[in-house]
Structure 1
Amino acid sequence: MRVLNGYIIKALLLSISLNIGVNAQSSSSTIADSLYATGNYTKAINYYAEDGGENSGLQIARAYNAIGNFEKAIVQYRSVVAIHPDWQIASFELGKLLLKAKEYDEARKLFSQLTALGDDNPEYHYYLGEAFQELEQPASALTAYKKAVKLDSTHLRSLFQLGKYFTIKLERDQALKYVDAGLRCYENDVSLINLKALIYYNDNQYKTAIPWFESLLELGETKPYVYEKLAYCYYKNWEFEKAKQTYRTLIGIDDQNSDTYFGMSAALRKNEQRDSAEIYIHKAMDVQRPIFAEGYSSLASLARERNDLKSALNYYKLAYKEAPLDDMLFFNICTVADQYYKDPKTKLDYYETFIKKFGKNRPYASKIATKRIKELKEEIHFAKN
């Protein structure tokens, strides 16, 4: 009887011990989850390690990722995936982290495996496309993005990537196909509106581009390049007052960009405000130092409009001195010299120098120069007789 009682006591003690262990384990997991949920990741890691449950390994990886310790997070994720290769969530999170860590080929392998396991998941295909893109394999990236869109016609990130690709390639219709599909889902998506504006801008459809650039500003996208392109669109659409106002706004944002001053000068010239245009050219040259070629060339054009051929010729020569490889600058010197000088021999020297230096570069300009050389030689010949 005493022996039996002893066994009963031992059994009870063992049961109590096991229950205490289970409760302790459950308690560690509960505390860890609470700490993780409130962002106390380092303490959460300690409790998850104490818990030792299957899910705790994944939570430790997530906690390392949350605090920015990506190396430890990757190691932990790899460990979880090795033990549980069927846990798609662990592989998916590891793949995204590998992209962040620039481990592109390993990420590609993971997402390829995931698309094989879950072929109907557009996110897997999207991230596979991201990996291919980073590996500079655009054809494979496009295939992945298109598959994501096929699975989910509202997958904005894939639509954006496809729209962006065809925008860069200047394939207007293809780009609009994907951008418009995205805008039908979310009409105020800034990234897609930006692409649509650029599609029309790159296609020289400046009037059509204007409302899209204006929409970007209304949505708070007040970046310099938006003002710059909008101002140019106004200029090309003969809306010079709007162009000037937009350039003034841009100068208020960045007064050290010579392109803005040149843009303002061009708008003023079209509005026949040549004196003001000249002031802005000089301002452009002040912030452009030491590169003066564009400034001198603009001053030459202004002088030419005023029929001040002497100044135009001098400015073109100064521009060419700054950019001696610019063949069209030298051709402008030739044409202004042709108008300015009376001596046909002087004119001839300019054109022959152009043919000698740049004849092969500019077929059309060379044709004009060759024809003028012939005419001048005939003029010189008849003058002798």
Structure 2
Amino acid sequence: MSRFYLFIFLLIASQAEAQEVSALAVADSLYAVGNYSAAIENYERIPSKEESVYLKLARAHQAKGTLDDALINYVKAASSTDEVIAMNEYGKLLITKGKFKEADSVFTKLISVYKTNPEFYYQRGRASENMPSDIKINASDSTQERTTTLFPYLKDYQKAVALDSTHQKALSELATFYLKRKDFRMVEKLAFKALESYPTNVEIIGTLAQSYYYKGWNEETITWFEKLLELGQSTQFIHEKLGNAYFKDRMYEKSIEQYLEALDFSPEDWYLHSILNKLYNYTEDVDKAEMHGLAALEFKDLPLSDEQYTLARTYELKKDWKNAMKYVNFSLKENPKNKNAEYTKVIVADNYYEDRRAVLKLYEDFIKKYSDSEYAKYDPVLRLARERRDKLTREIFMADDEEE
């Protein structure tokens, strides 16, 4: 009789186990296809959960975006044979949630056991970088010692790279750190080290391109920003910086292409319209220059003096003297000290006004105002103004003789 009861017990137990395995399989299948809510429901139905189930629940909640529930389940999962996996994922999620102190503690514990795992150092560096710190510096410390004292997370990133010279994320963090401090030599050293093992790392290439951009090396700037485009990257920042690099090399058509691409990201960006206004002036496509100049005025808040001046130059190129005078006057009203705008007004008046004596007076006033400046004798604008003043004087004198 006892054998019969034992048989029944084992049968019931095996059926319960089969149901539990079935529920787990269903939940795993739902998770695999992205149906996280249904997967969570099935995981929760499992009556006696092992730590591995809590790990699955944590992952499902994280994928769904219910991060607080994910954290709770990671803690429950962290006591199993999968403890390292759970703790690692738990620490990363703490960083995502902005719980940097707790994350730092988690990875410090992991490092105490797994001292040669570069990823744990990298993750602790991420947590440490965002933690407030009360740091004191010794005057006797070297520059390197002061840097690592001020920014303790650098040691973790450096340790990660020391343990794995191909650790792309740690190398990227270090390169970004040195870029912010304009230590371009270190940026390039780290970037090329990363690219040796991963030549298409767009984050590293972007950092390297910025290094050359801020360093002023235009040819290299163009090379690396173009590389980003080849790799399918397209952001307003990339197109603006590449457009500016083309502009510096007087490659105006290419520059226009990039600024138009940038404009697709921000159609009401007054600055982009203003740059395009200038670029189309250079290519003498005055209709497009006018269009972008007017857009810049429409989208920009005050002050508008620079944009009004650029638009005045556009109308000057179009020989639309009335509008040229209108916008140069607007520009000077906002910024009376703009010497270029003052001279543009004289040029426009020379073409727009019929009264030659009034125009001559404008030239004389301009020359008088700027003749006492420190570099007046080297000023090409003053030279041109004097030449035109002398010619106008002769024309007026000859006209007076003819009338007599």
Judge same fold: TM > 0.5, yes or no.
yes
Q: Find the aligned partners of 2:270 and 2:180 in 1 and give their Cα distance.
A: 25
Instruction: Give the residue type in structure 2 aligned to 1:144.
Output: D
In structure 1, the partner of 2:337 is 330
Instruction: Give the residue type in structure 2 aligned to 1:78.
Output: V
In structure 2, the partner of 1:182 is 194
Aligned with 2:233: secondary structure?
A: coil
In structure 2, the partner of 1:35 is 26
The residue correspondences of 1:1-385 to structure 2 (distance < 5 A) are 9-10=1-2, 12-13=3-4, 15-16=6-7, 19-20=10-11, 22-24=13-15, 26-38=17-29, 39=31, 40-48=38-46, 50-81=47-78, 83=79, 87-135=83-131, 139-251=151-263, 254-271=266-283, 277=289, 280-299=292-311, 318-319=330-331, 322=334, 330=337, 332=339, 340=362, 342=364, 347=369
Alpha-carbon displacement from aligned partner over 1:282-324 (angstroms, at most 9, x marks no partner): 3322332554133134357779999xxxx999967744765x7
In structure 2, the partner of 1:356 is none
Q: 1:347 Cα shift?
A: 4.3
Q: 1:23 Cα shift?
A: 2.5
The verdict on how the C-alpha distance between 1:225 and 1:18 changes in structure 2, with shifts beyond 3 A counting, is same
In structure 2, the partner of 1:6 is none
Q: Find the aligned partners of 2:129 and 2:251 in 1 and give their Cα distance.
A: 40
Q: 1:177 Cα shift?
A: 1.8
Aligned with 1:162: secondary structure?
A: helix
Structure 2: where are the runs of 5+ without partners? 32-37, 134-149, 347-360, 377-404
Q: Find the aligned partners of 1:283 and 1:58 in 2 and give their Cα distance.
A: 55
Say how many residue pairs are matched: 336
Name the TM-score, length of structure 1 as normaliser.
0.71
Structure 1: where are the runs of 5+ without partners? 1-8, 352-364, 370-385
Aligned with 2:151: secondary structure?
A: helix
Q: Find the aligned partners of 2:246 and 2:340 in 1 and give their Cα distance.
A: 31
Q: Find the aligned partners of 1:112 and 1:151 in 2 and give their Cα distance.
A: 16
Q: Find the aligned partners of 2:274 and 2:245 in 1 and give their Cα distance.
A: 15
The verdict on how the C-alpha distance between 1:249 and 1:335 changes in structure 2, with shifts beyond 3 A counting, is closer
Q: Find the aligned partners of 2:315 and 2:227 in 1 and give their Cα distance.
A: 39
Q: Find the aligned partners of 1:276 and 1:45 in 2 and give their Cα distance.
A: 62
Q: Identity, % of aligned pairs? A: 24
Whether the 8 Å contact between 1:31 and 1:44 is mirrored in structure 2 is no
Q: Find the aligned partners of 1:170 and 1:64 in 2 and give their Cα distance.
A: 41
Aligned with 2:123: secondary structure?
A: helix
Whether the 8 Å contact between 1:200 and 1:206 is mirrored in structure 2 is yes
Q: Find the aligned partners of 1:60 and 1:275 in 2 and give their Cα distance.
A: 62
Alpha-carbon displacement from aligned partner over 1:11-66 (angstroms, at most 9, x marks no partner): x2564355346524542442243123211412332343x13334333333333333
The verdict on how the C-alpha distance between 1:61 and 1:248 changes in structure 2, with shifts beyond 3 A counting, is closer
Whether the 8 Å contact between 1:29 and 1:56 is mirrored in structure 2 is no
Q: 1:234 Cα shift?
A: 0.8
In structure 2, the partner of 1:362 is none
Q: Find the aligned partners of 1:340 and 1:300 in 2 and give their Cα distance.
A: 18
Q: Find the aligned partners of 1:149 and 1:57 in 2 and give their Cα distance.
A: 33
Name the TM-score, length of structure 2 as normaliser.
0.68
CA RMSD of aligned residues (A): 4.0
Instruction: Give the residue type in structure 1 aligned to 2:10.
Output: N
